[in-house]
Every structure is written in C-alpha cells, then in structure tokens.
Amino acid sequence: MAVEDKSTFLPTTQIWDSTNISSLKGSPDELKQLIIKLYKNINIISEVLNKKDTGIYDVNEYICGRVFFPTATQTNQFRAVYRKVIDWGKALPNAAGSDTVAHGITFNASCTFTCIYGAASDTAAKRYIPLPYASPVLADNIELWVDNANVNIKVGKDRSAYTVCYVILEYVST
C-alpha cells in the first residue's frame, strides 16, 4: 500500500489571518501566541519547500530536492538525489555505432543512478526523439547508458541530423 505524504501539501487558501495582528490588545500572552502561530506557519512553508523537487537542470552537479529511502546501515538517513545535465555538444553518430561524452562524476562504491534519460533534436527538420529510443525496427533504436567515466549513446543507423542532445543523470551517493 502506498504511503501518502500529506506533509508536503501547502494550502492555497490563506493560512494566516492578518486580522489577528490588528485585534491584539497589547497583552504579552496574546503576542506570544501570535508569534507561536507565525513560527508554526513559517515552519510548514519551510518543510514544503525543502521537500520540493526543483526544476533546475544544470550542467553542474545539483541536489534536486528528491530523496531516496535510507540504506540498511543508515536506517534514519534519506539519501539526497543529485542531478547533472550532460550537454552532448555534438551530433549523434553518423553510422551504426556508439559515441561517448565524459560526465565528470566522481564515483565511489555507494554511487547509484536513479534516472538516466534525455532527448535529441533535429532542429532543421523539427524532429525530436527521447533517449533512449525504442522502436520495433531494430536499426531505429538508440541505446543510452552510463559507465564510471562516460555517458554512452549507441545508434543503429545514421542519426547525425540530431545535432542537439541533452542527457539528464540523477543519482544518489552516500
């Protein structure tokens, strides 16, 4: 059964009634209660923002706001997900075969990828394909994988018309 996380729900209705401030009669106890309510609301906002998956896709390693379950040895510690965009910087291969681009990620024994995906663009013909690309025609397939030093793309035919390519890597490391 899936666990619903209601802690990241931020109401869109007003969570702070500004009339509370104007109705204060100057009592220190009322002021204390108002400050406590304000603190609680700021805390709710902070928790929601800290759990948010950010929409930033940078070519530098970036903690994106996602977290993965704790490991068996770190039972209380969720693992941060890092995101890095690889700008392929060249056209896809012009014949069946593979090509590589260094990703610059430092690997250790606890580095694990959670998502590897991307897109390639033929800007002249205005055609766009996802990476990896699956087709019932074997030669049309495009394979995408990562090793300890490179991002690798393997094509089954000429794909050199696809001159803009981005690969997004997301991974955990403890």
pLDDT digits (tens, 9 = 90+) for 90-106: 999 999 999 999 999 98
Which pLDDT score is estimated for 70? 76
Q: What is the 3-state composition of the chain as percent helix, strand, coil, each rounded to the nearest 5?
A: 20, 35, 45
pLDDT digits (tens, 9 = 90+) for 133-171: 999 999 999 999 999 999 999 999 999 999 999 999 999
Q: Summarize the confidence of residues 18-38 as an average pLDDT.
A: 75
Q: The whole model's pTM is what?
A: 0.74
